[in-house]
């Protein structure tokens, strides 16, 4: 008996699918305009409005402050964190389709929204390496692709390095944990092979992920890159929760 396995979705065939979709009629997933890209320009303009955020963790801020109190008390291992949108409708639905429902064609649209965010283009241009947040082997097997890697390849055509950062073990979904549980579960969850240290020492790194909640995962990943010698780390995320 032949066992059927889920095909792996690679950046190459994802880009091919995106090119094919650009030739086919489509419908906006929010307003259902026809024809349109997965998200039409009007919806992106309406729902991707910029707002003041902490420079270090992208938490929404009021009152003109540049850095939130939490980052002042305990600075994260990344110098900057840039976020396109707040994690709310319609982005919750779009990201769920992209991340959990095999709708990899959304990678290009989500990347374009992120590229509109002030500072993202400059961060990518200055980067020596663009590092997608890695998945555990179990999660990658379940999903069939790494959504952060697909985003990275749509954000830039150079410098993407999926080989620099590794996830050492599988962890439970972070949304179901308290902050203390998240921090404990992520201890040692990311590592850089010592043979790669020379490629990170003194370099500027951009770290890519799709959604940021408490920031514990990005902090753990950035901490591993910092220990390997990275001199400057900027995190880029499509969406950030508001608390």
Mean pLDDT of 109-122: 96
- If one compares 20 and 144, the residue with the highest pLDDT of the two is 144
pLDDT in the model for residue 2: 40
Q: Per-residue DSSP letters for the chain?
A: -PPP-PPP--HHHHHHHHHHHHHS----TTT--SS--SS-HHHHHHH-----B-TTT--B--TT-SS-HHHHHS--SSSEEEEEEES-TTHHHHHHHHHHS--TTHHHHHHHHHHTSTTHHHHHHH-SEEEEPPPPHHHHHHHSS-HHHHHHHHH-SS-B-TTS-EE-S----GGGS-HHHHHHHTTT-EE--GGGHHHHTT-EEEEEEEEESSSHHHHHHHHHHHHTT-SEEEEEEEEE---
pLDDT in the model for residue 57: 96
pLDDT of 155 over the 90 cut:
yes
Token pair recorded at residue 124: 């990518």
For residue 180, what are the contacts with CB-CB under 8 A and spacing of at least 6? none
Q: How far is CA 133 from CA 38, 176, 205, in A?
A: 24, 20, 12
pLDDT of 21 over the 70 cut:
no
pLDDT in the model for residue 113: 96
Strands lying side by side in the sheet with 204-212: 80-86, 232-240, 204-212, 129-132
What does pTM read for this prediction? 0.85
What's phi and psi for 26, nearest 5 deg?
-140, 175
Q: How many CA atoms lie within 13 A of 173 on its CB side?
A: 3
The bridge status of strand 166-167 relative to strand 232-240 is unpaired
Calpha distance 151→154 (Å, rounded): 5
pLDDT in the model for residue 23: 47
Q: For the segment 44-94, what is each residue's pLDDT rounded down to a tens digit?
A: 989 998 899 999 999 999 888 999 999 999 999 999 999 999 999 999 999
Q: How far is CA 186 from CA 22, 147, 221, in A?
A: 39, 20, 9
Q: Please, are residues 216 and 188 in contact by the beta-carbon 8 Å criterion?
A: no
Q: Of the candidates 112, 101, 143, 142, which has an alpha carbon nearest to the alpha carbon of residue 39?
A: 112
């Amino acid at each position: 008996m032949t066992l059927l396995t889920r095909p792996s979705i690679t950046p190459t065939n994802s880009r091919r699918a995106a090119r094919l979709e650009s030739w086919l009629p489509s419908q906006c997933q929010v307003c259902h305009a026809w024809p349109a890209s997965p998200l039409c320009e009007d919806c992106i303009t309406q729902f991707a409005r910029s707002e003041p955020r902490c420079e270090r963790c992208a938490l929404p801020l009021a009152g003109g402050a540049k850095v939130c109190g939490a980052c002042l008390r305990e600075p994260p291992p990344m110098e900057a964190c840039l976020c396109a949108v707040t994690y709310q409708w319609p982005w919750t639905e779009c990201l769920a389709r992209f991340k959990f429902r095999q709708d990899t064609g959304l990678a290009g649209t989500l990347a374009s929204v992120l590229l509109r965010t002030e500072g993202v283009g400059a961060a990518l241009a200055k980067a020596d390496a663009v590092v997608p947040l890695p998945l555990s082997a179990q999660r990658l097997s379940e999903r069939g692709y790494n959504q952060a890697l697909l985003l990275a390849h749509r954000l830039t055509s150079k410098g993407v390095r999926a080989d620099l950062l590794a996830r050492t073990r599988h962890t439970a979904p972070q949304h179901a944990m308290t902050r203390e549980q998240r921090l404990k579960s992520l201890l040692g969850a990311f590592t850089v092979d010592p043979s790669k240290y020379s490629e990170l020492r003194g370099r500027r790194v951009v770290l890519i992920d799709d959604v940021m909640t408490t920031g514990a995962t990005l902090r753990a990943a950035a901490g591993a890159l910092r220990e390997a010698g990275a001199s400057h780390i900027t995190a880029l995320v499509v969406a950030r929760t508001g608390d």
